[in-house]
Structures are given as structure tokens and as C-alpha cells.
Amino acid sequence: MKFLVLISALAVFLAPAARAQGHGCEANIEDSLKQDCYPGEGASEESCRARDCVWCPVAEPNPDNIPWCFVYEADGSTPGPLPGFGCEENYLPGEDRVDCAPGEPTNEILCRNKNCTWCPYEEDGVTPWCYIPGTPSVGGYYMVGEPITITNGLRVNLIKAVANESFTFALENRPNPKAWEGEAETLTLDAEFQSNYRLRVKIYNTTSRFEVPLNVQAPTGGNQNPLYEIQFENDPLFSFKVVRKSTGTVLFDSSAGQFIFAEQYLTMSWAPASENVYGIGENEQKSFKHDFSQNITWALWGRDQPPSFTANMYGVQPYYTVLENDGNAHSVAVVNANAQQFSMNSGPVIKYITTGGVLDFYFFLGPTPENTVQQYTEAVGRPQLPPYWALGFQLCRYGYNNIENMKAAVDRTAQYGIPHDVQYGDIDIMHKALDFTYSRENFPGLPDYVKELKTKGIKFMTILDPCISIGEDPEEYRPLKLGNEMDVWVKKVDGSPVVGRVWPQDPVYFPDYSKNATKEWWKILIREFHDLLEYDGLWIDMNEPANFVDGDIDGGCTQNSLNNPPFVPRIQGNYLPSKTICGDHVQEAGNHYDVHSLYGWFQSEPTLTGTREGSGKRALVLSRSTFLGSGHWVAHWLGDNWSKWDNLHFSIIGILQYNQFGVPFAGSDICGFIGSSNAELCQRWMELGAFYPFSRNHNGIDYVDQDPGAWGAAIAESSKNALLVRYTLLPYLYTLFFRSVTEGNTVARALWHEFPQDPATRNIDRQFMWGSGLLISAVLDEGSTSVDAYLPNARLYNYFDGAEEATKADSITIPTPLDKINLHVRGGNVLPTQEPAINTEISRNNPFGLIVALDEEGAASGSLYFDDGDSIGTIENEEYFLADFAVASNTLTSTVVKNGYAEMSQKKLTTVRLLGAGTVGAVTVNGAAITSFTTLPSGEVLITSLDLNPTTPITITWA
Ligand SMILES: *[C@@H]1O[C@H](CO)[C@@H](O)[C@H](O)[C@H]1NC(C)=O
Ligand SMILES: *[C@@H]1O[C@H](CO)[C@@H](O)[C@H](O)[C@H]1NC(C)=O
Ligand SMILES: *[C@@H]1O[C@H](CO)[C@@H](O)[C@H](O)[C@H]1NC(C)=O
Ligand SMILES: *[C@@H]1O[C@H](CO)[C@@H](O)[C@H](O)[C@H]1NC(C)=O
């Protein structure tokens, strides 16, 4: 028997008892006969008596756990049944449960005494265990009349379906169903045929609902021959289908489940075209391709959350791509920022639920996987071109703690000859963790050291958190004073600033970056900061926004529908204000309830603009929190990952996702952030990380040093060698970024993007490509010294020796000792290269080369983009060099497409590696025979000692 605790705090929530008869101590039952009437906790006198039991508190202490509420046996009666329902009478799946006690503590007795259903959820405690009884709300709408033609599309008017026989409730005694509050009686669906490849379907009620202020760019081309068709059904209820016209494939069929549009609960379920679904973030996913057999729910709500399977993390990316079974591809963006979730259920069915806004779908019809990303980024904004130096290796740690440790890491890296382009400071370089400061105590002379680094060709990036400490004297701390003057803070309902706690010792205010004044304030501070510390770029952290308390520092959050909505997606903490501010806090763009997940997104543009104004250069901004279209301004690191082998594999998935999301400049902290790394893991991670688009080794505080020079000569050597390959290929990488800026292509690319017809590529997420030309296959498992690599159906050449692989469209096991990573060049590509160096300031001036890898037809193509690497707007201003290379009939020719970068004419192209040409007996360059070539044992023809000017057309022939 358990001692029954009366929790007085809970009792206040009790509804008045229905049957308050029962009995008191006068029943006079012997202690040994007392039979617990309420096993479990939390009975109160009312709930006890309501069950016809005896309520008789026992004096403390109560070592024998004599119950306070026990069965009245005097007349042989047994306890009356609890009101309400249990799982057997009224089981509902989690997402159909309307919380009976939002935000209140509850238990079985409290719950059932409200006539609600108590049914602990089998999986976790995220969904309510106490819910308003009913059958699943069916929802549903009917179409009124025929679709109406509107400009570039169709409009459908919808009216809420009235529940019919089959939707009513079978069980006796069950209270009326509680529908979701405020179900819209009428809705409008607009299908806009925005272009032949872009369809928007927006379902809305009145214009008063929140809509994401996403600036969607107009598409190019007309809509005369759309690749899609939209079909409407009205029986038994309204649903719509998006169909690919050329194949008849149904891409989206909303008849797969409920359609409810209520004030704070909007749901639609649809069948995707296949199970090859990729995307939705930001969550740690264990495979790039979703697994529909597991019914996994992915909740999205920006949160300071290290990767943990299914947990909602920093960013919100409601966007996915489907590879149709025939190899066509399309993608879908759901433009909604409210707390939401996608359940990938068997069927396959995607069940979507959001807690606000409107249902606003954009379909991008491809038909190639790359097309979908091109079309999506055209809509939400293409990436910025990273500065050339940013493609170099970057080094960071939280917890250098003093300038000596920072210098030691920099020196170790240099001592081993490891390329190094960017050094970082984390919050420990700040004075008392205050933005826009550095610690003169722990980092004396940092501004001079930053200048010194620059003379060595190393750039400096530092960190900013969004919040501002209020513990400083405003007269001495300009961010606070100016912020007060410019009125930049997120407010409580009463108009006073929200107060939270993050890294500074004192509480903080939260700037409202959705407000113009805040953007101006932030840019001023960033510009002025450059006078103190000559940063070359900034990383913005904690912008979910993170908070170390839930809600406001004093008093948390008020109990109301914005803080405790009737449905909470399966987010960590099961509470919207968990680790952040309250839903009813007020921002210019809306209630925090609606704009929470846009916090980092609103901060991104002003940070980039301010950083460019401060540095006068192109600069780089990294953001932890992202939303649809963030890639237009910022790059992304995958957050506070773990120094664990799993995270090495998952990093590839995250990087492929962010490339799909239009944020190609993405990478994961090399060697892991949380926990001490180890030699083998860090060695493998340095090798893989050398091929992240964004390549940064970053460590957390108090863990063992993990910079590549910290592990001794062998690991330093393999790190250096992997990075030297990266640096050799930087012109290729930079050209891929040029394509992402101008055409929207991915940089890091999944194999199924290049081989969409090959089903074997669809599950591959342990290998990836750079563009179409380089395949990367690293060891990802502890203790392993080989890689089972899939070699797609193409001519593939070993990067290191140029030997052609015999295997095609099959897996092979490649021995891969600790110091090795496997790289293959794919036939059909011309990869521009440059002799590597210790940093890009030097390597930029080294001679160029070409890797010419021939396909089955002896053909290949590629490009070289180059500019000064650091100016703003080189593409728009046409201050760049671009050459195209083409190979056919044993002849390589170059065509200068743009010659807008004057220094290019001083550069040389000296080497060509020709792969797949067979035995070559003669080579001519621009018509003249040369002798400086040799056929290596691997079959590679190496042409050296060229003295070519890249800005004049080149012709090389061989026979
Ligand atoms: C619970 O239901 C019973 C029977 O229908 C009713 O008498 C009672 O008032 C209800 N209690 C509450 C708290 O609604
Ligand atoms: C739909 O619009 C009506 C007014 O036309 C409004 O009363 C209702 O609250 C709206 N419902 C939702 C869910 O927005
Ligand atoms: C997923 O849901 C389906 C349909 O509800 C069910 O049949 C199946 O057993 C579920 N699978 C798992 C792994 O829960
Ligand atoms: C904020 O600035 C933008 C861009 O300059 C402008 O379009 C908008 O009207 C401004 N908003 C307010 C509320 O002043």
C-alpha cells in the first residue's frame, strides 16, 4: 500500500466533486483493514468522497503508509467508479488528443474527476495523458460550387462539414465531443500556377491570421505548360491532389487523413509520391531518407538543443524533397513558422500538424533533384558567395580561456604545416560574456593579435549572442544604453522588456530583431565593434532564442492559450516556453507564439549587412538558428554535436539536408563539440571534415584539446594531407559555390541527385559528392580500416593515382588505413585545381591545374570561377573570371565567358591530369607539340610545365 499524498497545489485545480457523499473518519475502520481506494497519488477529500470512499487523514509520520482514502467496508460497498474514461473506453492517438488541462499538473484522479480521459501515452510524455474525451475529430470541409478562375490559378471555397452519423460518438455516457477551439466555418484555397514548375496552394480563413513575412521571389518563365495539375475531390470530403502531368504520378494527395483548420490546431495528412522522402529539419536524423515504417514524428520549434534523435533543434526547415520511383523529383515547402510536426507514417502518409498560421504549400516540380533546389532557392533566395578564405580550414574552441592557449593552438597548426585560414573566438574571449567586448584580463592584446594573424594570412571570426546584459551601467555599456534609447526589446504584455538569463552573470533583455529599429541598432553596434576587434566574419549563436529559464525570469509565463495551447507538438519539454521566452511575449512581427522560430532568421540579414559595413568586405555570417530562406544571408554549422562516432555519420546527413535547404555552406564541428574527442575519431573526422563545404574544427569547454596539431605527428600529417587535397580543389569548390549563387545548385550533393534512376543510390548517406565531379567515401566507424563504398554507374578514377575503377553500379570494399580517405573523380568532369598552400592568401596566387576525367564517350566539361575572393558583389558587378572547359574528340578547349577580374591574366595554368585517355603518344598545346607529358602506371596522363594564361582560350589535343 502506498501512502497517499495530498498535494495542496494540485487540489486548487480540482473541479467541484460530483458526488461528494462518501464518508469521514467516523466510519471508524481499523487501520489493518484499510484498503487503498486511490492507489497512486493526489487524492483529495473531494475526490475521495466522490468515489464513495472514506477520507480520514493519518497523522504524520505514517511509517506503515496507512491510506488516507480507503474503501468503506462497513456495508460491503466497493468504491464507485472513477468518472471520466480510461484507455480501454476512450483511446486516442497522441495527435488527436485535446489537452484537458493545458499547463496544469495532473494525474489520473484529477483528470478523471474532470470527466476527462486518462490514458498515459505509450511512447513518451510529450502528448497529453489527460484529454477531452471523444472520437478522433474528423474535421473536414466541402467544396462550395466549382473552382473559380483567378489570376494565374484557381480558387476553391470551402465550408466546414457538419458531423454526420458516422462521426458521432458511440459510447454511452460520453460527454459531447470537444472539437478544437475555433474551427473555421469557411476557408479559401488558392492554387496559384506561379510558373510551369512552381505551384502554390494556400488555404486560409481571414487575413487576420499570422503569415510568415517570407519574401518569395517571382519565378522566371511563364506558366503556359505547367508540369503539374491540381485536382479537387469532394466525396466523402474535400481533398486535393497534385499530379505530375507527364507521368500521371500523384505527388500529393490530401485525402490521406484529417483536415482540420482551427484557431490553434491545423492538420492535413497527405500521401507523398513515394517513400523516397528527404528533408524536414532541424532534427538529428539517423538516415537521410525517411523511414516510413517507424511512424516517427519530427517536431519543429527552434530550441537550444544538442542533437538527440527526433528532438527539435535550432532551426525550422519545413521543406522536403521526394524522389519519385521513376527518378523524377519534386520538393515541397510548407511556409509556416508555428510550432509544428511532421509524422512520417506507414502508407506512406505524412501527417502534418501546426499550431497557427495558414496552410501554405509551395510545390517545385523539378523534374531533376538539382532542379528542385534551384527552383526552391529561386523562391526563397539564393546563397551569398562565401569569401574565398572561408573555404579554407577554420579552427575554434569554446574555452581557450586565455590568449596563450589560443596562440598555442594556432602555433601547433602552423608548426605541422596544416593549412589554416580562419581562427575563431568564442564567448570566453568576451569580458564577462558581454557582447561587443573582449576580456583585457584573459585575452590581453587580442586586437593586436588579430592584426598579426592577418599579416600571416589568417582571418578572425568571433561570436555574438543575441541578448544584452542589463547588469551593466548603461552609461558604460553602449549596447544597453542605445538599445534602451532605440526601444529595441521584446516586450511582455504589460509593455515592459522581457528579462531572461543566458551566459552573462546578470539577466538579459531580448532584442526584437523583427523590428527595424533593432536591425539599425544591431548594425551600428556591429560596425563600431570592428573598430575594437577587426573581425572578418561573425557567428551568431543562441538565437532560437535560447534562455536558461522558461519564460520571463520572474514569474515564468502566464497561463493562457499562447503559452499553453490546446495542442503542443512533440517538442522537448512539452511546453512552448521551455528554454525560451513566452508565447505571449510581444514582437513587432507578432506574438512570440507565431514568430519564435523566426528569431535567428530576422537577425540574419542585419548581421550580414552590419558585418559587411564594419569590415568593408564580403564577410561571412554563420547562424545557429535558421528558417526557410536563411541561406540567402548565412551559413550554418550543425550546432553542439557530440564527440561520438554516430555524429560523424550524422554530419553527412545534416550537410546534405542543409544543401537541400538552400544553405550549402554547412558543416559540423570537426572532432565533435560536446565531450572529449579521441585520436582515432578526430583523425577520421579531420579527414571527412576536410570535405565539408564549411570545414571547422570546434571544441567545447573543458575537453581535451582536439585541434589537428594536438594529437601528435601522425594525425597532424593525415589532417594536413586531407586539407591539402581540399586546398588543391578549392577552385572547384569555389566554382560550385558560384553555381549555387547563380543557379541554386547544391555543393555537397547526395548520390541520388546525380543518379536518380539508380535505386541503389537512394539510401546512401555515408558517401556524398562535391557537385557532379567528386565522390567522397570516408571511414565512419570506430576500429574500421575499410569502406564499403558504392560506385555508381560512371567512369570513376581514384583521385590520388588516377587509376580507373573496374566496378560500376556495385559496392566494393576499399582498404582505408587510418591516414586515408577515399576520393573518386567522376568521368565527364573537368575540375579546376590550384597548388595548395598553408592558407588561401598564398594558394590563391599559385598555379592552376585541371583534372580532366573522361566519360565513356571521351567527353568532359567543367568551369573555373575566380575573383578577388573578398569584395562584395563581384558577381553582380561582373568583376570575376569565368571559363568553361569542354572535351571532345581528344581535344580540350577553354572558352572565356567573363574576363572581369584583372589579376587573372597574371595567373598561370601549368598542369593537366588527364584521366581515362588511354596511352597517349603526342600532345599539342595551342597547336604546338610538347614533350612535358608522361603516362603514369595508373593510366593517368600527366601534362606538366605548361605556361598558359587562363584568360586566353586554350586548346590541348592528344593522340
Ligand atoms: C461529470 O459527469 C457527470 C455525469 O455526467 C456529471 O454529473 C458531473 O457534473 C460531471 N463533472 C464535471 C466536473 O464536469
Ligand atoms: C475564420 O474567420 C472568421 C470570420 O470570418 C472568424 O470568426 C474565425 O475565428 C476564423 N477562424 C480561424 C480558425 O481563423
Ligand atoms: C505505424 O502505424 C501503422 C498504422 O497506424 C501501424 O500499423 C504500424 O504498426 C506502426 N508502426 C510502428 C513501428 O509503430
Ligand atoms: C521597416 O523597413 C522596411 C525596409 O526599409 C520597410 O519596408 C518597412 O515599412 C519598415 N517597417 C516599419 C514598421 O517601419
Helix 730-742, helix 713-728: angle, nearest 10: 50
Torsion angle defined by CA atoms of residues 465, 466, 470 and 474, in that order, rounded to the nearest 10 degrees: 100
Q: What average pLDDT does this structure show over 519-531?
A: 98
- Reduce the secondary structure of 182-199 to three states and give it as a string: CCCCEEEEEEEECCCCEE
Say if ligand 3 is within 6 A of residue 345 CB. yes
pLDDT of residue 178: 47
Query: Is 394 in contact with 695 (CB distance < 8 Å)?
Result: yes
When comparing pLDDT for 145 and 60, which is higher? 145
Mutate to test the pocket of ligand 2, among 137, 205, 264, 360 (most ligand atoms within 8 A of CB): 205
pLDDT of residue 125: 56
Closest ligand relative to 291 C-alpha: 3
- Cis amide prior to 30 (ω within 30 degrees): no
Closest ligand relative to 206 C-alpha: 2
Say if ligand 2 is within 6 A of residue 263 CB. yes
Which residue has the least CA distance to atom 6 on ligand 1?
18
- 943 in helix, strand or coil? strand
pLDDT of residue 179: 65
Q: Residue 102 and residue 502: Cα distance in Å, rounded? A: 27
Domain locations in the chain as residue ranges? 2-131, 141-380, 392-487+512-537+597-730, 739-958
Say if ligand 2 is within 6 A of residue 209 CB. yes
Least confidently predicted of 176-185, 271-280, 411-420, 519-528: 176-185
Which residue has the least CA distance to atom 7 on ligand 3?
346
Query: Is 281 in contact with 307 (CB distance < 8 Å)?
Result: no
* Residue 135: Cβ-neighbour burial (10 angstroms; 0-12, 13-18, 19+): middle
Residue 350 Cα to ligand 3 midpoint, Å, equals 13
Of 628, 572, 631, the C-alpha closest to 598 is 628
The tens digit of pLDDT for each residue in 813-857 reads 999 999 999 999 999 999 999 999 999 999 999 999 999 999 999
When comparing pLDDT for 347 and 34, which is higher? 347
| Domains 141-380 and 392-487+512-537+597-730 are alike in CATH topology | no
Residue 209 alpha carbon, nearest atom of ligand 2: 14
Show Cβ contacts of residue 916 under 8 Å, excluding neighbours closer than 6 positions: 795, 797, 804, 827, 853, 854, 855, 858, 939
| DSSP letter, residue 422 | E
Least confidently predicted of 88-97, 751-760, 942-951: 88-97
pLDDT of residue 783: 98
- The grid cell for 243 is 499530379
The tens digit of pLDDT for each residue in 195-243 reads 999 999 999 997 689 999 999 999 988 999 999 999 999 988 999 999 9
- 321 in helix, strand or coil? strand
The tens digit of pLDDT for each residue in 573-597 reads 999 999 999 999 999 999 999 999 9
Q: Residue 861 and residue 855: Cα distance in Å, rounded? A: 10
CA distances (Å), origin 856, targets 808, 915, 958: 12, 12, 17
Say if ligand 3 is within 6 A of residue 93 CB. no
Residue 294 alpha carbon, nearest atom of ligand 3: 13
Query: Is 142 in contact with 159 (CB distance < 8 Å)?
Result: yes
**12 pLDDT more than 50:** no
Show Cβ contacts of residue 20 under 8 Å, excluding neighbours closer than 6 positions: 46, 49, 50
Residue 263 Cα to ligand 1 midpoint, Å, equals 27
**88 pLDDT more than 90:** no
H-state helical runs in 575-644? 592-595, 599-615
Residue 15 alpha carbon, nearest atom of ligand 1: 13
Supply φ then ψ for residue 653, to 5 degrees: -60, -45
Of the options 3.40.50.720, 2.40.50.140, 3.30.70.270, 2.60.40.1180, the CATH number for the domain spanning 739-958:
2.60.40.1180
When comparing pLDDT for 208 and 335, which is higher? 335
- 158 in helix, strand or coil? strand
Q: Residue 170 and residue 165: Cα distance in Å, rounded? A: 10
Say if ligand 2 is within 6 A of residue 432 CB. no
Q: Residue 699 is inside which H or E element, if any?
A: strand 696-699
pLDDT of residue 123: 61
Closest ligand relative to 47 C-alpha: 1
In the chain, % of residues over pLDDT 90:
81
Pair type for strands 822-826 and 796-798: antiparallel
Segments of 273-381 assigned E as strands:
277-281, 296-300, 317-323, 329-334, 340-345, 349-354, 359-364
Query: What is the DSSP track for 375-390?
Result: HHHHHH-PPPPPPGGG
Residue 292 Cα to ligand 3 midpoint, Å, equals 9
Residue 677 Cα to ligand 1 midpoint, Å, equals 59
Which residue has the least CA distance to atom 12 on ligand 3?
294
CA distances (Å), origin 332, targets 218, 280, 362, 423, 883: 17, 10, 6, 38, 34
pLDDT of residue 22: 73
What pTM was estimated for this model as a whole?
0.89
Amino acid at 789: A
Closest ligand relative to 513 C-alpha: 4
Residue 346 Cα to ligand 3 midpoint, Å, equals 6
**100 pLDDT more than 60:** yes
CA angle 246, 247, 250 (to 5 degrees): 115
The tens digit of pLDDT for each residue in 726-744 reads 999 999 999 999 999 999 9
Query: Is 340 in contact with 318 (CB distance < 8 Å)?
Result: yes
pLDDT of residue 2: 30
Other C-beta atoms closer than 10 Å to the C-beta of 327 total: 18
CA 177 to chain centre: 38
Residue 114 alpha carbon, nearest atom of ligand 1: 13
Closest ligand relative to 46 C-alpha: 1
Of 229, 466, 262, 232, the C-alpha closest to 357 is 262
Show Cβ contacts of residue 188 under 8 Å, excluding neighbours closer than 6 positions: 155, 156, 157, 158, 203, 204, 205
Q: Residue 851 and residue 825: Cα distance in Å, rounded? A: 9
Residue 107 Cα to ligand 1 midpoint, Å, equals 18
pLDDT of residue 65: 82
pLDDT of residue 176: 41
Say if ligand 3 is within 6 A of residue 21 CB. no
Mutate to test the pocket of ligand 3, among 269, 346, 349, 351 (most ligand atoms within 8 A of CB): 346
* Residue 304: Cβ-neighbour burial (10 angstroms; 0-12, 13-18, 19+): buried
pLDDT of residue 107: 77
Amino acid at 657: Q
- The grid cell for 849 is 591545374
The chain-wide mean pLDDT, for the chain, equals 92
| DSSP letter, residue 309 | B
Of 632, 860, 898, 609, the C-alpha closest to 744 is 632
The tens digit of pLDDT for each residue in 653-677 reads 999 999 999 999 999 999 999 999 9
Other C-beta atoms closer than 10 Å to the C-beta of 763 total: 15
Of 55, 124, 346, 334, the C-alpha closest to 212 is 334
Residue 481 Cα to ligand 3 midpoint, Å, equals 56
**126 pLDDT more than 90:** no
Say if ligand 2 is within 6 A of residue 160 CB. no
Mutate to test the pocket of ligand 3, among 91, 95, 295, 350 (most ligand atoms within 8 A of CB): 295
pLDDT of residue 165: 36
> Which are the catalytic amino acids?
541, 544
CATH T-level topology, domain 141-380: Immunoglobulin-like (2.60.40)
pLDDT of residue 8: 29
The tens digit of pLDDT for each residue in 593-652 reads 999 999 999 999 999 999 999 999 999 999 999 999 999 999 999 999 999 999 999 999
Which residue has the least CA distance to atom 11 on ligand 2?
184
The tens digit of pLDDT for each residue in 700-715 reads 999 999 999 999 999 9
> Where does ligand 1 bind, in terms of residues with CB under 6 Å?
15, 18, 83, 114-115
Least confidently predicted of 127-131, 295-299, 912-916: 127-131
Q: Residue 329 and residue 368: Cα distance in Å, rounded? A: 5
pLDDT of residue 283: 98
Residue 18 Cα to ligand 1 midpoint, Å, equals 6
Query: Is 906 in contact with 895 (CB distance < 8 Å)?
Result: no
CATH T-level topology, domain 392-487+512-537+597-730: TIM Barrel (3.20.20)
pLDDT of residue 942: 98
Mutate to test the pocket of ligand 1, among 13, 82, 115, 169 (most ligand atoms within 8 A of CB): 115
- The grid cell for 875 is 558577381
Of 362, 6, 33, the C-alpha closest to 198 is 362
The tens digit of pLDDT for each residue in 163-204 reads 543 333 333 333 344 467 888 989 999 999 999 999 999 999
Supply φ then ψ for residue 75, to 5 degrees: -110, 20
Say if ligand 2 is within 6 A of residue 182 CB. yes
Residue 206 Cα to ligand 2 midpoint, Å, equals 6
Say if ligand 3 is within 6 A of residue 295 CB. yes
Which residue has the least CA distance to atom 12 on ligand 1?
114
Amino acid at 99: D
pLDDT-based confidence at residue 28 (cuts at 50, 70, 90): confident
Residue 295 alpha carbon, nearest atom of ligand 3: 1
Closest ligand relative to 269 C-alpha: 3
pLDDT-based confidence at residue 75 (cuts at 50, 70, 90): low
The tens digit of pLDDT for each residue in 872-904 reads 999 999 999 999 999 999 999 999 999 999 999
The tens digit of pLDDT for each residue in 36-59 reads 776 565 678 877 777 777 888 888
